[in-house]
Amino acid sequence: MAFTVSPGVVTREIDLTTIVPESGTTAGAFAGAFRWGPIDKIVSVSSEDLLVENFQKPDSSTYLSFFSAANFLAYGQNLNVVRVANTSAYNATTDSANAVLIKSDESYYNTYYTEFGGSGASNDYGEFAAKYAGQLGNSMKVSLCGADIPSGLLTGTIAIAFAATEGTVTGTGTAFTSELQVNDVVYTNSSSYSIVTAIATDTAMTVYSSANTDIASGTAVTRAYSSQYSEKEEGSTGIAPGCIMGTV
């Protein structure tokens, strides 16, 4: 029913309960536990793929939160997700004895990054920390290769005998102790890379390689200008023992 309040002004009552909005345009919000991602920060997600990209796949502790959010995204495309965490959540660091929680990029810049306005809080946790809190950060590795360690052909020749992924290297006229160090990457051709795990003498050392193909004696060897993590060996399914630098 419409009626006139004053000349030229009409008030009309409309029943909006008969209108059903499209589910794809309906916004939703969800807060829950996830394996990865920023903490206490709103992240807009429009699909399950983006949910995985931002917060990773669920485990036995986070599946309830993940699938609750995923069920909404099966019908809608506008979900604001906030990851929550308890007081025991920490970022993996290079010094596991000193725990730190960096909730998000903003938290890092405002607290630790002095050039952005942070206070430069104590960095007793080491030079590197995982971007987000969670056990996934424990699998991250960091390796630095200095400019004073160039790539180049090493002195002498070698032979390698493998037992599984560990290779025993025997050198002829080599100088392993002065030309190499543990974690250097060496190769005998463009596809056979190995990581030095121990150096005993100038002519004896051990290496790691998932390719585990024996190398005949008299083979030249080159040190790669790279870290052990930048070279992906053909058929590799893991990492060299002892590569994890810090865990939570």
Q: Which 3 state secondary structure label does DSSP give 83?
A: strand
pLDDT in tens, 3-16: 566 666 777 777 77
Average pLDDT estimate for 111-139: 78
On whether the CB atoms of residues 169 and 205 are closer than 8 A, the answer is yes
Of the three residues 139, 171, 205, the one that is the final residue of a domain is: 139
* 134 and 179 assigned to the same domain: no
CB under 8 Å to 70, separation ≥6 — which residues? 48, 51
Q: Which 3 state secondary structure label does DSSP give 195?
A: strand
pLDDT in tens, 33-75: 999 999 999 999 999 999 999 999 999 999 999 999 999 999 8
* 79 and 92 assigned to the same domain: no
Instruction: Answer whether residue 233 shows pLDDT above 70.
Output: no
* 127 and 70 assigned to the same domain: no
What tokens does 103 get? Answer: 């909730």
What amino acid is encoded at 164 in this protein?
Answer: A
Q: How far apart are CA 82 and CA 54, in angstroms?
A: 11
Query: How many other C-beta atoms lie within 10 A of the C-beta of residue 135?
Result: 16
What tokens does 83 get? Answer: 């990851």
What tokens does 77 get? Answer: 């495309």
Query: Residue 123 domain-assigned?
Result: yes
DSSP 8-class letter at 154: P
Query: Residue 147 domain-assigned?
Result: no
What is the number of structural domains in the chain? Answer: 3
CB under 8 Å to 37, separation ≥6 — which residues? 43, 54, 55, 56, 83, 132
What tokens does 199 get? Answer: 């150096």
On whether the CB atoms of residues 2 and 12 are closer than 8 A, the answer is yes
φ, ψ for residue 178, nearest 5 deg: -100, -25
Looking at residue 12, its pLDDT comes to 76
pTM here is: 0.56
Query: How far is Cα of residue 148 from the mean position of the Cα atoms in its chain?
Result: 28
On whether the CB atoms of residues 142 and 246 are closer than 8 A, the answer is no
What tokens does 51 get? Answer: 């949910």
Q: How far apart are CA 192 and CA 211, in angstroms?
A: 7
Of the three residues 83, 98, 116, the one that is the final residue of a domain is: 83
Q: How confident is the model at residue 244 (pLDDT cuts 50, 70, 90)?
A: very low
DSSP 8-class letter at 12: E
* 130 and 73 assigned to the same domain: no
* 99 and 165 assigned to the same domain: no
Residues spanned by the domain of 118: 87-139
* 182 and 121 assigned to the same domain: no
> What separation in angstroms does the CA of 207 have from each of 55, 92, 121, 184?
36, 27, 40, 10
Query: Residue 74 domain-assigned?
Result: yes
Query: Residue 15 domain-assigned?
Result: no
* 123 and 190 assigned to the same domain: no
* 73 and 114 assigned to the same domain: no
